[in-house]
Chains A and B, each alone.
Chain A
Amino acid sequence: GNSVTQMEGPVTLSEEAFLTINCTYTATGYPSLFWYVQYPGEGLQLLLKATKADDKGSNKGFEATYRKETTSFHLEKGSVQVSDSAVYFCAAYNNAGNMLTFGGGTRLMVKP
Chain B
Amino acid sequence: DAGVIQSPRHEVTEMGQEVTLRCKPISGHDYLFWYRQTMMRGLELLIYFNNNVPIDDSGMPEDRFSAKMPNASFSTLKIQPSEPRDSAVYFCASSPRTGKPDTQYFGPGTRLTVL
By a beta-carbon cutoff of 8 Å, the part of chain A in contact with chain B is 32, 34, 36, 41-46, 49, 89, 93, 95, 97-100, 102, 104-105
**Interface secondary structure of A, over-half rule:** strand
By a beta-carbon cutoff of 8 Å, the part of chain B in contact with chain A is 4, 31, 42-43, 45, 48, 50, 55-56, 91, 93, 100-109
CA distance A85 to B56 in the complex (A): 34
Specify the chain A residue showing the minimal Cβ separation from B43: A102
CB <8 Å contact, A104 and B42: yes
A-B pairs, 8 with minimum CB distance: A43-B106, A93-B102, A44-B106, A102-B43, A104-B42, A32-B102, A43-B108, A43-B107
Min distance, Cβ B109 to any Cβ of chain A, angstroms: 5
CA distance A23 to B12 in the complex (A): 36
